[in-house]
Chain A
C-alpha cells in the first residue's frame, strides 16, 4: 500500500509539471540534519572507510585481497566458526527461554513487573565484565553454587567436562545477558496480543491448541525470529564478557581482533585485524538485513 503510493508519486508530479524540465533543486530543509551527518560521517563512516582501505592493502601499500582470503584459513577461520557457534547456540537457548519468561512476565504488573524489567535492563546492558566475575564467584571451583550442588545434590559440577572457561561455561554466562535481552525485545510483541483474539477463538469453538496453532504462532513467529536475529548479532560481537572470562582459551573473532589490536601481530600482516573487523561487519550486516526484512513483514499486518 505504502510502496504503491511512493511509486505513484513521481508519475503524478511529472504529469503535473507539463513541459517544464524536472530540475534538480537543492532542498534547504536538509541542512537541519547537517550536525548529525557531520557527526556520523566523522565518527562512524570515516573509521569504517579507513578499515576498508586498510584491509585491502598490504603493508607495502599494494592493493591485495589476500587478507580476506586469509579469513577462510587457519586460526582466523576457527575464530569465526567459534563465534558463529557461540552466537547460534546462545540464540537458540536464550531465544526460547527468554520468550517463555517473557510470556509470564507480561502478565504481571506493579512491583513484580518493575523489578523484573529493571533487572532485565541491568543484566542486558551493564553485563560484560561484572557478569563474568559474578560467575567466577558463583560457579568457580570455590563458588557457593558449586559447593551447594555438591553438598545437597551430590553433583560434582567439575566431575564431567564442565569448565567455566570452556565453550559451555561461556555459553552459560552469555545466557545471563542474552535471556534478559530477549525479554526486553520480545515484550512489545506479546503486549500487542489482544484478548479479543482469545475470545474470538472461543466463540468460534476453537480449542486452546487451535488458538496456539492458528493464532499465536502465525502472529508471533516473525517477531520471534527477528528478536532471535538480534540475539545472534549481540552474541556474535560481544567482547567484554569473553575477554574477561577466557584468556584466549577459546577462539572467538572479537577476541582475536582484540589481540591483533594489542600488538600481537605477525609483522608482515599488520592489516589483518582490519580485514577481520570488516568480516565481522559483513556478517552482522547480513544478520541485521534479515532482521529488517522480517520487521517489515511484522509491520505490514
Chain B
C-alpha cells in the first residue's frame, strides 16, 4: 500500500518532529548547565553516578526486570502456545482475561495489592515482579498471539515430535525460535515497563530506579533532568537499534555469502 507522499505530509512530519524533539533538546541543554547559569558542563551527568543510592536502585530495578521477564517466559509463552494448539475453544476467554488488566487503573491495582497481599510478600520488592507481569500482560499476549498466527504451529509440533523431541524440547528449540521476533518484542516491552514503572513502586513504598530518580530530583534539578534525558534518549536509541538489528544482521549474512 503506497499512497502519494505530498508536501503536506512532509510539513506535518517536520512539524511533529520539531514539536517532539525540541523539548528533548531544550532539556538536554538545561541538563548541561552549570550552577548559577555559568557555562555548560557534563558534571550533572557524573553527579548521577556519584549520587547516594544510584547503583542500589538501578540494581533493584534490573533484578525486578529480570525476574519479571522470567515469569513472562514461563507463564505466558506456554499458555499462548497452548491456546493456539489444543485449546482453540478457549481463545476468546484467554483474550479477554489477558486484556483485563487494561481496564484496571494501576493506581487501583496498587491499592488492591496493599489490601490483599500477605505481609511476607509485601516486605520484599519482588512483589512488584508479579504485578508487572499483570500490567504487561495485554501487550505480551497481543505480541505473542500475532507471532504465533504467522507460523503453522501444528506442523512444526508434529515434525518435532516425529523426530523424537518431547514437549519441553519442542517449546524451547522449535516454537520459541520460530517466533523469535515476537518473543523478543514481548520481552522488550516487559523489560522497558519494569525498568520505568513508577506508580506501583511508589505507592507500595519500594525503592526502584524511577522512585530514586524522583527523590534525587528534590536535591538537584539539573541532575534529575540529566537522568530524564538519559532515560528517554537511551530508551529511544535502544529501540532504534532493536528495529535495525534484522537489517544489520542481513547485511552481515550477505557479506558471508559473498565471502
Contacts and interface: CB of A to CB of B under 8 A. Distances in A.
Interface of A: 29-30, 32-33, 35-37, 39-40, 43-44, 46-51, 54, 100-101, 103-105, 107-108, 112, 114-119, 121-123, 125-126, 128-139, 142-145, 176, 179-180, 191, 193-195, 198, 233, 236-237, 239-240, 243-244, 254, 257-258, 261-262, 273-274, 277-278, 280-281, 284-285, 288
Given A47-B115, A135-B23, A281-B105, A118 B243 contact: yes
B184 interface: no
A257 B24 CA distance: 31
A281 B87 contact: no
Given A105-B13, A108-B5, A119-B236, A258 B107 contact: yes
A110 to B, nearest CB: 10
Given A114-B240, A274-B115, A257 B107 contact: yes
A133 B222 CA distance: 10
Contacts of A51: 108, 111-112, 115
Nearest to B29: A144
Contacts of A176: 20, 23
B13 A116 contact: yes
Interface of B: 1-5, 8-10, 12-13, 16-17, 20, 22-27, 29-31, 37, 75, 78-79, 82-83, 86-87, 90, 93-94, 97, 100-117, 130-131, 133-134, 137, 189, 192-193, 196, 198-199, 202-203, 210, 213-214, 217, 221, 224-225, 227-229, 231-232, 235-236, 239-240, 242-244
Nearest to A52: B112
Main secondary structure of the interface of B (DSSP, over half): helix
5 contacts: A44-B100, A51-B111, A104-B9, A108-B5, A116-B17
Contacts of B1: 191, 193-195
B100 A107 contact: no
Contacts, number: 242
A-B interface, 6 closest residue pairs, ranked by CB to CB distance from nearest: A47-B112, A237-B105, A138-B26, A130-B228, A144-B26, A137-B30
Given A36-B79, A47-B115, A194-B1, A114 B244 contact: yes
B104 A281 contact: yes
Nearest to A116: B13
Contacts of B16: 101, 104, 179
Contact of A243 (B108, B115, B202, B228): B202
Nearest to B239: A118
A284 B104 contact: yes
B82 A32 contact: yes
Given A32-B79, A40-B100, A195-B3, 9 more contacts: A33-B94, A39-B130, A46-B116, A103-B9, A125-B192, A131-B232, A133-B224, A237-B106, A281-B104
B105 A254 contact: yes
B86 to A, nearest CB: 6
Contacts of A137: 23, 26-27, 30-31, 225, 228
B210 A128 contact: yes
A119 B21 CA distance: 10
A160 B231 CA distance: 32
A135 B27 CA distance: 7
Contact of A39 (B23, B93, B133): B133
Given A137-B225, A194-B1, A258-B203, A123 B107 contact: no
A55 to B, nearest CB: 10
Given A122-B236, A126-B232, A104 B199 contact: no
Contacts of B202: 243, 258
B234 to A, nearest CB: 9
A210 B193 CA distance: 44
Contacts of B3: 107, 193, 195, 198
